[in-house]
Amino acid sequence: MITVWGGQTSRSIRVAWVLEEMGLPYRVRQVDMLAADQDPEFLAINPADYIPAMQDGDIVMVESIAIMEYLMARYGPTPLAPPPHDPGFPAYQQFLHLGEAGLATLMMPVVVSRFLAPEAERENWGAAWCLKSFQKRLALVSRRLDRSPYLAGEDFTAADISVTYALNLGQRNCGIILGDAEQAYLARTTGRDAYERAMQRSHEGTGR
């Protein structure tokens, strides 16, 4: 049984969503990131102390996009990952990684500055730069959505799972304002049954 270490509002939702889309059995082990240093079971899984982590038998992995790629490669084929000669493959590959490396990662300095930094350090140049970069990079998503309903083309793929998380994070925690096309896109992706189930399972989870 695959175990996903994480929680409902974290990047572990990407992993649970892939598992739901693929119909694979799994359990969610919730991690309270504000008390993770008192969770030795979790620290044994990821001593670097961040989520998500995934355990599949003897295999333990971190990094949400790498975990998604592992699951799709090992338990696929799946329409979530178009094959290399599919016309949608280059866009798929780009947006799969843009969702984390190009977008969600930029939100971390913004989130920690807003919610965790001492009062005097909340407004800072670095976080403002990250926010501006995120907004500029959104142009890539917008341009693509002008041309097709999903990021790889006509069909929903794991690139949409990756970017949906980033857009939700920006909107929910960082004051990013999305246009109508991006809002309609989020309604399409998060309207999927597999997303609903992943959210539900991640919320219920299993305790410590």
Write out the residues near ligand GSH by the rule CB under 6 A: 10-11, 33, 49-52, 63-65, 100, 108
Q: Between residues 49 and 87, which has the closer beta carbon with respect to ligand GSH? A: 49
Cβ neighbours of 97 (radius 10 Å): 15
CB of 94 to ligand GSH, least distance (A): 16
Q: Between residues 31 and 141, which has the closer beta carbon with respect to ligand GSH? A: 31
CB of 185 to ligand GSH, least distance (A): 21
Residue of minimal Cβ distance to ligand GSH? 50
CB of 116 to ligand GSH, least distance (A): 10
Q: What is the 3-state secondary structure (H, E, C) of the chain?
A: CEEEEECCCCCHHHHHHHHHHHCCCEEEEECCCCCHHHCHHHHHHCCCCCCCEEEECCEEEECHHHHHHHHHHHHCCCCCCCCCCCCCHHHHHHHHHHHHHHHHHHHHHHHHHHHCCCHHHCCCHHHHHHHHHHHHHHHHHHHHHHHCCECCECCCCHHHHHHHHHHHHHHHHCCCCCCHHHHHHHHHHHCCHHHHHHHHHHHHCECC
Q: Between residues 84 and 118, which has the closer beta carbon with respect to ligand GSH? A: 118
Q: Between residues 50 and 149, which has the closer beta carbon with respect to ligand GSH? A: 50
Cβ neighbours of 178 (radius 10 Å): 17
CB of 206 to ligand GSH, least distance (A): 18
CB of 147 to ligand GSH, least distance (A): 27
Q: Between residues 50 and 89, which has the closer beta carbon with respect to ligand GSH? A: 50
Are 91 and 152 a contacting pair, CB within 8 Å?
yes
CB of 208 to ligand GSH, least distance (A): 16
CA separation for the pair 40, 50 (Å, rounded): 13
Q: Between residues 162 and 189, which has the closer beta carbon with respect to ligand GSH? A: 162
